[in-house]
Structures are given as C-alpha cells and as structure tokens.
Amino acid sequence: MKGVTIRACAWSLLLGLLGGAGTYIPAALAASVPAGTEEEIRLRTQPEGRLCRVGIPCPDPEAAPAQRAERVAQDTAEPPAAPAADAEPSAPAPEPAARAPVASAAPAGRTGEQVYNQFCFACHNLGVAGAPVLKDSAQWEPRIAKGLDVLMANSINGFNNNLMPPKGSCINCSDEELRAAVEYMLP
C-alpha cells in the first residue's frame, strides 16, 4: 500500500505542477537553450563526422555549398549543341570523365594479410566458435590434412552451420583474395 501512496503523491505533484505552473514550463525550457544567431546554432548542431566513400575524395566542409552547386550545375548542364551540317569538321570531342567507382567494389588485389585483418581476425584471432587460431599448427593440421581445396570450399561456401560464414563475410572478396587469406592463416 505504501508504494501506491507514493505513486499517487508523485502523480498529484506532477499534475499540480503542470496545471498550476503550465505557463512557466515553456519559459523555463526556453531559458535553458543557449543563445546565439541561427548560424551559430546551426554550426553548433551540425554532425560531428562526415561520410566519405571509397574512390571519391571527402569534400571540404567549408566549400560544401559551392561544391554541391558545382556538382548540380554539371549534372543538369545540357550537352553542347551538335555542329551545323555545313561547318568544317573539328577534332573529336573528348570523352566525358568517367564516374568514380561504386563504393562496394572490391579494392584490386588485397593481400591475404589485408583480408585477414579486415574480415577473418574477428574469429580466427581468438578461436571464436572453434575457429582455428592464426598460425596455430595443432588446430590447423587436421584441416590441412583434408587439402587446400576443401579449405577453400569451406571458406567460399561457409562451414559448420554458417559459424564460418560464406566468404568469411567478405562478400566482395575474389577467390584469389580468399585463397591468399587462407594461406596467410596457415602455420
């Protein structure tokens, strides 16, 4: 019964504050907001970091509006008009600049160590869920005995009810990069 009384008192207090001082709450909240111009507030509340994609240089935050305007102008610009039929032929037009590669494209030719450090180490560094530990001869010997082709099939297709996920979660790794990673892990 004591808990009910305390809860009822708390509700009564809260309702009394809201009912009796309802006009003062917004003023109290407004007083707690730091002063400043809209620009100062915008600068204070902008995100801490920036998102940059592989193959595309990070934009300069100070030049961001100008860069956006330039990019919009380039994307919406109309192609140059075709030369008139009676005009003299000129040099061929230069090829348009190629777009930057898609961020999900695999970096060309990662080493086994690079693949291991980015994807494999999470399990193979400590032996999570029975994963053989990096360079541990005793753990790798029975697997090596089955042959490198079996090791590769397991790393590509997954193994042990996907405790070893397909491609070790490196979806964009080539078979050659996976082979290099497996060979890097072996003693």
pLDDT for the residue numbered 13: 59
**Segments in the chain below pLDDT 50:** 21-22, 102-104
**Domain 112-185, what fold?**
Cytochrome Bc1 Complex; Chain D, domain 2 (1.10.760)
The residues, any chain, with a CB within 8 Å of residue 34's CB and separated by 6 or more, are: 41, 44
pLDDT for the residue numbered 159: 87
Query: What's the whole-model pTM score?
Result: 0.45
pLDDT for the residue numbered 152: 93
Q: Break the chain into its structural domains and give their ranges.
A: 112-185
pLDDT for the residue numbered 36: 72
pLDDT digits (tens, 9 = 90+) for 69-85: 565 555 555 655 655 55
The residues, any chain, with a CB within 8 Å of residue 58's CB and separated by 6 or more, are: 50, 52
pLDDT for the residue numbered 57: 74
For the chain, the C-alpha Rg in angstroms (whole number) is 31
Nearest to 151 by CA among 111, 118, 172, 178: 178
pLDDT for the residue numbered 39: 79
pLDDT for the residue numbered 101: 53
